[in-house]
Structure 1
Amino acid sequence: MSPNTFDISCLCGAVSQRVLPLVAHGEAVELSINHGDVDRHATGTLCASYYPIREPHQLLGTAEYHGLDGWARYFCNTCGCHVLRRRDIDGVSVWEAATGVLLNSTGEDIDADARYARHTGVSDTKDGGISVWLPEIEGRRLDSPTNPVMVESRTTTKLPPMPLICPKDTLPASCDCGTVSFHIIRPTEQSYLPHSGFPDLQYAAVEHSHEFMKNSDSLKWWIRSNGAKYLAGNCACRSYRLISGFEIQTWAFVPRCNIFFHVPGPDDGHSVILPLNFSDLPAGIAKTYESSPGVFREFCAKCGATAFWRDSWRPDVIEVSVGLLRAEEGARAETWLDWWTERCSFEEETERGRSGEPARIARRLIDGLERGLRSGAQSNRCSLEPRQIARGYSIRNKSFTVTLVVGR
């Protein structure tokens, strides 16, 4: 049976309330994992999912964004978390809550929990996006355009064009409304200069010592494929979930020196390219939320797409939301990104701060993701922790030595 109520909240707590599910007790709720262009670029994640609810009591603290897919999305004006969406169908307003903001439920009946039943919008991704890692949950296959059960035509909504100044042979990226627009270049000599501790993506922090996680040998783990790609992966951490509104956040680790923003120039209609410097970005492009002392998260001020994560201790290696990327080959941008498939980062936080149905359906989703990541995937992890070699490179006639993690 369906729960009586849900408590929902964003990370900062400015948007929180109790909502009622749409369905009556005993009715099955089937959820979709949405991969369409608007879903990805309006959120910054590779997929989005929502739970059908009755009209909420209030929208205080939210900003409203209307996507070309017909949905009005409501995100926290303070921290950027996507909380609700609404669409008018035949004169009736349909409301849904982002699944990641569902915290607690009442009216427990485990057998009647909502379940993820299908993928939608997969054709927009070109390469299947994250759906390739989620073929099934708890042994039950999800309907998708690759199955005869479901037929899908390509979405007709279009993303805003990238500025003409965006150089060729770079990786373009933008939010759905185009306010946040930038491109990424291949690793350069400067890409090896920053220092960073190991990410939880590669080594679970709960299983390794603080000393080990500091990466005292300064391995450049974010550079992959012999200097051609950047590391990317999936994360289920509580703070990421409540800052995006969804259970699965997808990040690429990119040096700040390899990111170039497109900002309005002095002439109307013309953009200029600026190296990414958060203190120099013009007002009205990206809003910054300091989620804890020294930890900063940027999101689009207009559509709410999560864009970046950074902190004061690692200011020059930025986590970039993969849902913003516009690689020609597809949503996973695999000519640019090397995906870590051994684990979903912070999977142990999937149920943190949650109880009842929201916790259970989230755990099933992340367990399904981890099984999909590991199934048939070649390991990217070194056999030793960490095994390393030193290699000399010569770039721009300047020789230097870098230390690389052995991997593909």
Structure 2
Amino acid sequence: MSTKTLTARCHCGATHFTLTLPTSALPLKTHLCHCTICRTVHGAPAAFHARLPDGVVPAFVSPSNLDKTTGYKHAHATAYRHFCSTCGCHIGDQAENRESWYISVSVLDANANQGVWEIAEHVYTSSTKDGGLSALLPTIAGKEVKVWNPEPGDDALGLAGGTSDDHDTLLAKCHCGGVSFNISRPQREFVESPAGDGWVIRSEPTKWLASLDACTDCRLVTGAHVIGWLFVPSDHISPPLPQNLLVGTSKSYKSSQDVYRTFCGRCGATIFYSESGRPGIVDVAMGILHHKDGFMLDDWAFWRTGRLGWADDGVKYDEGFTRSLTEGLQEWGRRTHGEVRHFEVGVEPVKPKVD
């Protein structure tokens, strides 16, 4: 039987394994799960999962082993969600019987153009309320991405963890609840001060800047092709953040010289990104944000729709996905706001250009 061996590594390299697959099983049929559980476990807009053929399991490369991951299983789950204990990268879900896996294709060292995986379906999009990423990605390379949702009334994967309808407070909470805090609207003093230059649009003073990011580092610390960030001053978060940004069950990971990230050490959700060149500002992972209006938080977020952050990295990894998401993001901007918005995060002052 003809086979193909794939390699996977997280960002820090502590989780390193291979998959040997029959070529007849390729491309791996991949679905994007938008349920609240997946979003609040990853901190990303969706989980990028493919079921491995029966009998195929990760073969860990020494000194890596499954014990270097953390397995998270909530009360109603039928699988363990494994993520790297050092950097937080999700590698996939292992069934309770330990015999079958759903793998995160976002950690594979491969390119979709090589026929390794095919994103074919969005599932549980109703949990997002507004479609989330599926509203931006109806097709990939001209091919429709199907949408599946359970029958009305089946709320098993609905709004787990609760939502907020408070106009002035936005709830951030990972799936296990070990990390939880609130974000406030931009305060007038901040908007009108030099500190607000680069971080708020003065014509939209009640919203925070937001962007989708396809960078390699983010992919390999989340286990997802793309992540959404909301850029927030730390003094607009309550309870007050400690200097090291460690809240509740969170852990810290230094992904590069001046960049620190945090993730929940119990369920693995990405929480914060911070860098030394931007003191007082944190990027909050949008997958852990809860609001009745939906994932895109249109009442809270001023989205950059003109481009993805670090799109070149995304193109190198999965060209069809990244180019289609860029196009879909622009179209969503036109459809939702009547324009495509461009701005540079942190540039003083923010002066968005529109198409």
Render the CA deviation track for 1:264-286: whole Å, top value 9, x for unaligned.
xxxxxxxxxx212244756x521
Query: What is the alpha-carbon distance in structure 1 between the residues aligned to residue 26 and residue 283 of structure 2?
Result: 40
Query: What is the alpha-carbon distance in structure 1 between the residues aligned to residue 151 and residue 184 of structure 2?
Result: 34
Render the CA deviation track for 1:36-64: whole Å, top value 9, x for unaligned.
01110000001111233322234131011
Query: What is the alpha-carbon distance in structure 2 between the residues aligned to residue 109 and residue 161 of structure 1?
Result: 39
Change (3 A) 1:224 1:10: farther
Q: With structure 2 as the length reference, what TM-score do the two structures score? A: 0.84
Map of 1:20 onto structure 2: 20
What is the deviation of 1:161?
Answer: 4.9
Map of 2:57 onto structure 1: 55
Paired letter, 1:34: C
Contact kept, 8 Å, 2:163 with 2:292, in 1: the verdict is no
Change (3 A) 1:70 1:369: same
Map of 2:62 onto structure 1: none
Query: What is the alpha-carbon distance in structure 1 between the residues aligned to residue 139 and residue 257 of structure 2?
Result: 39
Q: With structure 1 as the length reference, what TM-score do the two structures score? A: 0.74
Q: Secondary structure at the match of 2:13?
A: coil
Map of 2:262 onto structure 1: 298
What is the deviation of 1:69?
Answer: 4.3
Change (3 A) 1:179 1:84: same
Render the CA deviation track for 1:91-110: whole Å, top value 9, x for unaligned.
673212212110148xx994
Query: What is the alpha-carbon distance in structure 1 between the residues aligned to residue 113 and residue 189 of structure 2?
Result: 55
Contact kept, 8 Å, 1:119 with 1:131, in 2: the verdict is yes
Contact kept, 8 Å, 1:15 with 1:60, in 2: the verdict is no
Contact kept, 8 Å, 1:294 with 1:312, in 2: the verdict is yes
Change (3 A) 1:16 1:328: same
What is the deviation of 1:375?
Answer: 2.2
* 1:381 lines up with 2:337 in the alignment: no
Contact kept, 8 Å, 2:26 with 2:117, in 1: the verdict is no
Contact kept, 8 Å, 1:191 with 1:258, in 2: the verdict is no
What is the deviation of 1:84?
Answer: 2.1
Change (3 A) 1:26 1:285: closer
Query: What is the alpha-carbon distance in structure 1 between the residues aligned to residue 47 and residue 2 of structure 2?
Result: 21
Change (3 A) 1:138 1:326: same
Deviating beyond 4 angstroms after TM superposition, the runs of 4 or more aligned structure 1 residues are 150-154, 192-195
What is the deviation of 1:315?
Answer: 2.1
Larger radius of gyration: 1
Render the CA deviation track for 1:96-143: whole Å, top value 9, x for unaligned.
2212110148xx994x54311110010111111111000000111111
Map of 1:277 onto structure 2: 242
Change (3 A) 1:370 1:152: farther
Query: What is the alpha-carbon distance in structure 2 between the residues aligned to residue 26 and residue 44 of structure 1?
Result: 29
Change (3 A) 1:287 1:281: closer
Change (3 A) 1:72 1:350: same
Q: Secondary structure at the match of 2:31?
A: strand
Change (3 A) 1:4 1:281: closer
Map of 2:223 onto structure 1: 245
* 1:119 lines up with 2:122 in the alignment: yes
Contact kept, 8 Å, 1:81 with 1:245, in 2: the verdict is yes
Change (3 A) 1:250 1:4: same
Map of 2:131 onto structure 1: 128
Contact kept, 8 Å, 2:246 with 2:252, in 1: the verdict is no
Map of 1:177 onto structure 2: 176
Contact kept, 8 Å, 2:200 with 2:350, in 1: the verdict is no
What is the deviation of 1:72?
Answer: 1.2
Paired letter, 1:250: G
Query: What is the alpha-carbon distance in structure 2 between the residues aligned to residue 330 and residue 287 of structure 1?
Result: 27
Contact kept, 8 Å, 1:74 with 1:85, in 2: the verdict is yes
Which consecutive unaligned segments of at least 5 residues does structure 1 have?
196-217, 261-273, 353-358, 389-401
Map of 2:328 onto structure 1: 372
Paired letter, 1:59: L
2:107 to 70, 86, 101: 101
Paired letter, 2:102: E
What is the deviation of 1:293?
Answer: 2.2
Instruction: After TM superposition, list the pairs within 5 Å mapping 1:262-273 onto structure 2.
Output: none
Change (3 A) 1:328 1:2: farther
Percent of pairs with identical residues: 31
**Number of residue pairs matched?**
336
CA RMSD in angstroms, aligned pairs only: 3.1
